[in-house]
Structure 1
Amino acid sequence: MLLLTIALTFRSEAQTIFIEPLSPRIVTYAISVSLDPVEKMLTGKETLTWRNTSTDRVGELQFHLYLNAFKNTASTFMKESEGGHRGITMADGGWGWIDVTSMKTAEGEDLTPRIEFIHPDDNNEKDRTVIRVPLSKPVLPGQTIRLSIDFTAKLPRIFARTGYYQNYYMIGQWFPKIGVYEAAGQRYAVKGQWNCHQFH
């Protein structure tokens, strides 16, 4: 079996254009992932560091698991699109998904059992594109939290700009991606809340 290994470190590989960033750096990702081209599977390890830039005590984190939009006909995306996108329908057996197999804090606390699917947009309990993770202690204003996340993903046959066709891969939104925490007054938020929508 041939395995292609891709290592991505988003913050250290970028060329510096501005001395000062144009926006605050809130999250960094270091991701190591392997692609099994026979099974069309990704196996990854992600180190995520998130900084609380609000004045709130943030007691949970929320993440997008966008590949789960292609898991079955019950996802919000598939229901809204009636199983099609730009005249193309999902091929039989072409489904894809993502699973978080482990999530731990830098201190070693296992958060995996706390992972819970939520459905903030439409209460579709079968949608699996957003998770919340309650924390044992909140992230205080100005503090950071570092997580180690292991995940596996099955790529769908190419559909809606995502997936594979033979040996061609179009892979976007393929890793657990933290949502955006908005403090009161930010983008119409009445109180501090996560902006972490389902895949539509």
Structure 2
Amino acid sequence: MNTATVLAVCCVHQLLSDEGRLGVTAIDKRPVDGPVKVHRLGLRGDLQADRYDHGGEDQALYAYSQDDADYWAAELGRDIPPGYFGENLRIAGLDATAAVIGERWRIGLDVEVEVTSPRVPCATFQRRMNEPHWVKRFTEAGRVGAYLRVVRTGSIQAGDHIHRTYVPAHGVSVGKWFSDPTVQDMDALRDADADGLIRLQADYQQAFAKLQARTGE
């Protein structure tokens, strides 16, 4: 079994001008050297320009797997270096998209995080990539990565091992919920949340309502 590791810890390098409503974006993340402090809202030295749609405790960190980056590098014919998708953590040996909602990871010696939700591609991401129909392509591929909530603060750095410390029995992964959510998945998540086994962020209630309206259940 491969050991899961952090390949790179990435923070905002510079704010880029953007055609969106804010005029700037903090999607330009790049690897930093040495240990980085992790607090409840993410990495020290990092930020989100759009704090309405990004960031907060439920999206404190964004993890993306190297295997998925390699897939896109082959598809696009160009390198996808750590941080290029706006991720804070480029990881190996662990599929972030296959992570179960609510599962927990220990990173390094003291940081613990909880998987909260999939990344939903936006227009800013498409402008960053400068690829035709990027949001559609990224959505259809379903290689979305995972947002993380910080449960225990500390420091992390490239080379740290990642250990899965808790995996909820409901089994609904961020990738499944993003690409093919069902009423059964919704019920499993609701039950796990009600039983205190996971803690769903508020956005799930809106997603549940949309799913019910679409399925008529």
Q: TM-score, normalised by structure 2?
A: 0.24
- Structure in which a larger fraction of residues adopt helix: 2
Larger Rg: 1
Q: TM-score, normalised by structure 1?
A: 0.25
